[in-house]
Amino acid sequence: RKEVEQDPGPFNVPEGATVAFNCTYSNSASQSFFWYRQDCRKEPKLLMSVYSSGNEDGRFTAQLNRASQYISLLIRDSKLSDSATYLCVVNRAGNTPLVFGKGTRLSVIA
């Protein structure tokens, strides 16, 4: 099983749609979880951290399921500007660096 696995997509959705991405991780001792966003030909940027109790930032909601070892990202009311690649990021265990998933590509269509 890969350390961090994501569906590569692409997800093509109309404006206003709700879309959800899942990401699974292999190391049950992982403690840090994030979603990053990467626009075409740009650097990855932090979208949001993922907390055990789940967290929301505007139209974005992140959830963590430790029992099943997955994290999710829900985007409500999709905008054209949400088109990007979304990277799931997890640390391995203990004091180790983050591991980036290969990303899920989202295209929001007018």
Q: Which of 7, 13, 27, 102 binds another protein (CB under 8 A)?
A: 102
d(CA 35, CA 33): 7
Q: What are the φ and ψ backbone dihedral angles of 80, each rounded to 5 degrees?
A: -55, -35
Is 87 a residue that touches another protein (CB under 8 A)? Answer: yes
Q: What string marks each residue from 36 to 65 as x (binds another protein by CB under 8 A) or -?
A: ------xxxxx--x----------------
Q: How far is the CB of 37 from another protein (least distance, A)?
A: 11
- Its sign, for the CA torsion 42, 85, 4, 36, is positive
Amino acid found at 54: G
Q: Which residues make up the interface to another protein (CB under 8 A)? A: 31-32, 34, 42-46, 49, 85, 87, 91, 95-100, 102-103
